[in-house]
Chains A and B, each alone.
Chain A
Amino acid sequence: MTARTLYDKLWDDHVVRTEDDGTALLYIDRHLVHEVTSPQAFEGLRIAGRKPWRTDSVLAVPDHNVPTTDRSAGIEDPVARLQVKTLDNNCSEFGLTEFDMSDIRQGIVHVIGPEQGATLPGMTVVCGDSHTSTHGAFGALAFGIGTSEVEHVLATQCLLQKKSKNMLVSVDGHVNEGITAKDIVLAIIGEIGTAGGTGFAIEFGGDAIRALSMEGRMTVCNMAIEAGARAGMVGVDATTIDYVNNRPYAPQGEMRDRAIENWQQLHSDSDAVFDKVVHIDAASIRPQVTWGTSPEMVVAIDAGVPDPDTVKDRVKADGMRKALAYMGLEAGMPINRIAVDKVFIGSCTNSRIEDLRAAAKVAQGRKVANNIKLAMVVPGSGLVKQQAEKEGLDKVFLEAGFEWREPGCSMCLAMNADRLEPGERCASTSNRNFEGRQGQGGRTHLVSPAMAAAAAVAGHFVDVNDLMSHN
């Protein structure tokens, strides 16, 4: 048999049938659902008189719209309240499992799937959310879909797909002290661009990726979509299997042994051929900070804001000028002089326990700077929050002057009350720095949790290593 990539294996394993032009009907093992992209899909089912094909494949949770402050009073915004209520109603009407707002297991959909073991190696995982790529960290084929496709999966357990091309991004060697998964993925996007992965499924490999924890791998795969790839993935190894073990939805006992045997095949064959291979030297990666309105507009902390006048491509240079104007920055400005107003630690990119530990390590014994109007930590799920509190991380944050919130998407996209005011600048651990993403006129700089905490205590961007060595 010819050598296959991990993506080839996952793909082949899920094809139900193929049309003449290569369009495949792909079977879906896990369907994650949230309140924003599902109401119209359920409505579609109702209108057509259809039922979900396999209710046990669905796990639903409200996350985008939920308040991160005291929940006992419910949701204040009537429009958001109706949307969350609509999800509750649809789940009970169609018999689907939902972790509702009062459930300790509630959280960001891409945090709770893996946390529950609802995401397993070898699965196809879809969700009406582009950051579904996160789940690829488990050696799964995971990608975001639109609402029509949510309805299609609900009704048929399948999706119509054309196979993507294979790309390997190999992060070779080892990263330096203080460099996290977020810095790795931002550096990758800086290298290949936000359209660099369009039409590809990206497998992340190399020693630096293998050395990452599952949390770190999820951070990397999470942002595959920001590199233009619908799916990102990492092959299964002992780290994957250890993480999955004993999770509520994961197989147990004899079944687990059978599963592990199968999972161990889930990596690219050593002689598999990729359509494109990109090598990144891990040792060259510095802490990353985005300066513009696209994740590819990223530089190292010790660099300056790039100058559009030095860029030949007219469309690109114009884009840079628009970004500088929107961000209120000037070419050449040192990144570590940029002062911030707000700090957001959270989102499906960086709200897992390891992220909170990294941020708390920086916040420990320090205070949020005076010029910071708000520094907030939003755990990815109720269980992450519980674990962090067990470790005393909440106290570390509170003593330093951070707010400690309830789980949800929060200021990642500012659908709830957590947002930036026009002109406000934010150090954010989320994944998108688009115009208006965190509030109309708001300015977002993407960084790692440690770098966000460092910006909070310094009042401006700073190399977290410098800050820590000053102790």
Chain B
Amino acid sequence: MQAFTRHSGIVAPLDRPNVDTDAIIPKQYLKSIKRSGFGPNAFDDWRYLDEGGPDIDDSTRRINPEFILNQQPYDRATVLLARENFGCGSSREHAVWALTDFGFRAVIAPGFADIFFNNSFKNGLLPITLDSAVVDSLFGKVQQNRGIEFTIDLESQTVTAGEDVYAFEIDEFKKYCMLNGLDDIGLTLQHADQITAYEQERKQKLPWLF
């Protein structure tokens, strides 16, 4: 996994609540058996005017000029500013893969759906939860300063937007894995003996589960 320490990038505002994973990556792309290549289809229904599919060349499709990520400089955005309940809906990790493949390194929102939130950490995409009043003012800032860059520092847990600095909360363990780009399967397997011991005891106590 790509480590996340400090990142500065253009912020794209996506001003709607409840952006679901079907919107982030529509189902026709879930047929892929790969982890990469989803970027051109992030927000597909909003980004293009015609329907796409895994066997359709995206360069031949009609772009929706109204959609924020099709406008300069947001087509180069690496930080997404979003509203309440971002990433709700299905567990598809493809949604995170689509965002990272597009180039996003962080999403800032007042709230995230649980599964999306977890999936993000597994892929080096940092979900930052800030108070909804703060997010509101960040939307104002981005709209007034088109192309503004925010700086996100994970070590100090801060987002710097122009003159202002905002602190955010994060689980210690998630922060540690993210800062070091750790593969958590490897970490868990360091405790293999403990898992085996637990399993043996469980087998004695609840044999019908085995």
Which A residues fall within an 8 A CB radius of B? Answer: 16-17, 19-23, 25, 27, 29, 36-37, 39-40, 43, 48, 50, 53-54, 56, 64-65, 77, 79-80, 82-83, 86, 120, 122-123, 128-130, 132, 144-149, 151-152, 155-158, 160, 162, 164, 194-195, 198-199, 228-230, 250-251, 255-256, 258-259, 262, 294, 315-316, 318-319, 322, 413-415, 432, 434-437, 440
Least Cβ distance of A59 to chain B in Å?
Answer: 13
Residue contact B85 to A21, C-beta cutoff 8 Å: no
Between-chain CB contacts (< 8 Å), 30 pairs: A16-B191, A16-B195, A21-B171, A21-B173, A27-B199, A27-B202, A54-B199, A77-B31, A79-B31, A128-B91, A130-B115, A145-B118, A149-B122, A152-B184, A160-B184, A195-B84, A198-B85, A198-B113, A228-B114, A229-B114, A230-B115, A262-B206, A294-B18, A316-B17, A318-B16, A413-B22, A414-B27, A434-B22, A434-B23, A436-B45
B31, B94, B199: the one within 8 Å of A157 (CB): B199
B18, B114, B173: the one within 8 Å of A23 (CB): B173
Least Cβ distance of B110 to chain A in Å?
Answer: 9
Give the CA-CA distance A230 to B208 in the complex, in Å: 26
Q: Which 6 A-B pairs have the closest CB atoms?
A: A148-B122, A251-B208, A146-B119, A39-B33, A21-B172, A146-B93
Least Cβ distance of B135 to chain A in Å?
Answer: 10
Least Cβ distance of A38 to chain B in Å?
Answer: 9
A65 with B16, Cβ < 8 A, contacts A25-B188, A152-B188, A230-B114 known: no
Give the CA-CA distance A1 to B57 in the complex, in Å: 63
CB neighbours (8 Å) of A77 from chain B are: 31
Give the CA-CA distance A145 to B199 in the complex, in Å: 22
Give the CA-CA distance A145 to B83 in the complex, in Å: 23
A40 with B34, Cβ < 8 A, contacts A25-B195, A156-B189, A440-B45 known: yes
CB neighbors of A among B76-119 (8 A)? 83-85, 88-94, 96, 111-115, 118-119
Mask: chain B, 163-175; 1 = CB below 8 Å from A; 0 = not? 0000000011110
CB neighbours (8 Å) of A86 from chain B are: 33
A27, A50, A228: the one within 8 Å of B113 (CB): A228
Residue contact A144 to B84, C-beta cutoff 8 Å: no
A434 with B89, Cβ < 8 A, contacts A16-B195, A146-B96, A415-B28 known: yes
CB neighbours (8 Å) of B14 from chain A are: none
Give the CA-CA distance A377 to B32 in the complex, in Å: 28
Residue contact B111 to A198, C-beta cutoff 8 Å: yes
Residue contact A413 to B27, C-beta cutoff 8 Å: yes
Give the CA-CA distance A80 to B208 in the complex, in Å: 36
Q: How many A-B residue pairs have CB under 8 A?
A: 192
Question: Could you list 9 further interchain pairs (A-B, Cβ under 8 angstroms) beyond the known A50-B185, A415-B31?
Answer: A36-B31, A40-B34, A80-B31, A122-B209, A123-B209, A152-B185, A198-B113, A228-B88, A432-B22
Residue contact B119 to A120, C-beta cutoff 8 Å: no
CB neighbours (8 Å) of B33 from chain A are: 39-40, 43, 82-83, 86
Residue contact A436 to B198, C-beta cutoff 8 Å: no
Residue contact A144 to B91, C-beta cutoff 8 Å: yes
CB neighbours (8 Å) of B173 from chain A are: 19-21, 23, 160
Q: Does B51 contact A (CB under 8 A)?
A: yes
A79 with B35, Cβ < 8 A, contacts A130-B91, A414-B27, A415-B28 known: no
Give the CA-CA distance A180 to B57 in the complex, in Å: 45
Give the CA-CA distance A36 to B85 in the complex, in Å: 24
Q: Does B143 contact A (CB under 8 A)?
A: no
Give the CA-CA distance A432 to B10 in the complex, in Å: 33
Residue contact A258 to B208, C-beta cutoff 8 Å: yes
Give the CA-CA distance A440 to B22 in the complex, in Å: 11
Give the CA-CA distance A130 to B95 in the complex, in Å: 13
Give the CA-CA distance A147 to B90 in the complex, in Å: 12
Residue contact B210 to A56, C-beta cutoff 8 Å: yes
Least Cβ distance of B74 to chain A in Å?
Answer: 19
Residue contact A194 to B45, C-beta cutoff 8 Å: no
Give the CA-CA distance A339 to B33 in the complex, in Å: 39
